[in-house]
Amino acid sequence: MSRIAGVRLATAAAGIRYKNRDDVVLFELAQGGTCAAVFTRNAFCAAPVIVAREHLAKGPVRYLLINSGNANAGTGVPGLRAARETCRLLAGMAGCAMSQVMPFSTGVIGADLPVDPFAQAIPGLLAGLDEDNWQRAAHAIMTTDTVPKLATRALSLSGGDVVVTGIAKGSGMICPDMATMLAYVATDAAVPATDLQTLLGRAVDTSFNRITVDGDTSTNDACVLLASGASGIVIDDLDGDDGQRFAAAVAEVCGELAEMIVRDGEGATKLVRIRVESAAAADEAAAVAYTVAHSPLVKTALFASDPNWGRILAAVGRAGVERLDVDRIRIWLDDVCIVEGGGRHPDYTEEAGQAVMKRSEILIRIDLARGAVGTEVLTCDFSYDYVKINASYRS
């Protein structure tokens, strides 16, 4: 991983839920850096989401304090009190304002967050801050993830070189309505806060907001973009060549992390791209793509490598698209056309469909023949292990 000058990280084993592993992460942003973030739209958003929003709105952010194993969600006033107390503890030891700390949590919903482990861990976190701790941080934020998720890009701009690096966690309860479970991206470029927020919103819309594992939007979703400015390279014109190239790098990092989340979906055995073409509007393209992606019947057929194309057809038909002309729709499994003229393509064979469904990566392409708008959603199959993992998650 490429380090980011001006961004230091540390991890600690606080024992909040997990034993004998790091479960708390601290990010430190250099003085003068900027921060942007997007959060879940779930009405039952977690206490740390509420506090993080409040603190981001108040001004410059210096620290991100993250814990895994306990979501501090559905915890009411005590949860808010705990989230604020962790910020107060860190601020007192770091010598900054409490509002300069943004808290984040992920894990079991409905359990009270203990504060004492933070008080014990924070001194070590501050002492252990280092620019090279990205790998350790990626491990520490994991819950049901089976692998850490990291991505990086280096690019040369007209004024010099900059780096974009990010980590993420998430493998279940993934249907982001803003971002993923948790994602943290940083750069050494100098970017005004308003531009940084614009960049992040655009990147999230084409990456984290286009993935789904199980259709569940978490209470704790958050995605943060930090800009330290340590490189001295200023990005203040998003429409200029440098601005566009930098934005593309941020989007690529987010896209790579988003794909890693789907590949690591709980019990997933296949990565599935659902591409909708020739829709009349963006919302109907997304509606069709997500209806197919969320269908348990489609997802279980994918796991079984069963070319049961009727399930895909049925999902498209119930996506809520008004005045849908089914006779004009065409559907493919990779390069095999399975539906045309309102039914099975005349050249389709079960053997051809089976060959595609046995692959570890599959493209389902749907042509609505209604316009010129398209979208792509990443998802995965449903296996026996998805049920096992989620049935025993709290035990």
Q: Which residues are catalytic?
A: 180
DSSP strands (E only) in 110-218 = 149-157, 160-169, 182-187
Residues 43, 82: Cα–Cα separation, whole Å = 20
Q: Which residue has the tokens 């806060």?
A: 193
DSSP strands (E only) in the chain = 7-12, 24-29, 34-39, 63-70, 101-108, 149-157, 160-169, 182-187, 222-227, 271-279, 330-333, 336-340, 343-344, 361-367, 373-380
Contacts for 190 with CB less than 8 Å, ≥ 6 apart: 34, 227, 228, 229, 231, 232, 233, 234, 235
Distances in Å between the Cα of 324 and the Cα atoms of 320, 329, 343, 366 are: 9, 9, 14, 13
Residues 378, 254: Cα–Cα separation, whole Å = 13
Query: Length of the chain, please?
Result: 395
Q: Which residues pair with 234 in a beta bridge?
A: 190
Contact present, 147 and 264 (Cβ < 8 Å): yes
DSSP strands (E only) in 262-387 = 271-279, 330-333, 336-340, 343-344, 361-367, 373-380
Quick one: how far is CA 387 from the chain centroid?
22
> How many CB atoms are closer than 10 A to CB 17?
17
Alpha-carbon dihedral angle through residues 123, 100, 67, 104, given to the nearest 10 degrees: 180
Structure tokens at 294: 């969320």
Pairing mode, if any, of strands 222-227 and 182-187?
A: parallel
Structure tokens at 62: 């210096």
Maximal CA-CA distance, the chain: 72
